[in-house]
Amino acid sequence: MARRLETLQSGTPVFCGEKRVGSVDGVYAEGSSAVAEYMVVRWASRDDTPVLIATKDVETLEGRGVTLIGDDPQQYVTAPKYEDKLYPSLRRIN
């Protein structure tokens, strides 16, 4: 059965290439949409800070977890820290 971003569980591993960079903390949609547009990743090299990643940056979703398009974790160094109060239009869907 194919996996969907909307069904990701907290703790699912996230990779850049072969390097594990963190784990999924939640999946979010804009407003009343049911489509996953963002995921929050607890980024290991940033002291497990919750980081907002657009789902368009997901290359694959498979048994080992989520693999992002960028092979180099440094590509995501500017990804914003996630705080509920900063993104009031986002709604957690999983």
Task: Tell me, yes or no, whether 65 lies in a domain.
Answer: yes
Residues in contact with 46: Cβ distance below 8 Å, sequence separation at least 6, in sequence order: none
Amino acid (one-letter) located at 79: A
Tokens 């990701």 map to which residue?
Answer: 8
Task: Tell me, yes or no, whether 67 lies in a domain.
Answer: yes
Domain at 60, CATH number = 2.30.30.240
The predicted-structure confidence for 39-82, as pLDDT tens digits, reads as follows 999 999 999 999 999 999 999 999 999 999 999 999 999 999 99
Task: Tell me, yes or no, whether 94 lies in a domain.
Answer: no
pLDDT at 1 over 60: no
Instruction: Calculate the CA 92 to chain-centre distance.
Output: 12
pLDDT at site 30: 95
* DSSP conformation letters of 4-60: -GGGPPTT-EEEETTEEEEEEEEEEEETT--S--EEEEEEGGGTTEEEEEEGGGEEE
Domain coverage including residue 76: 5-89
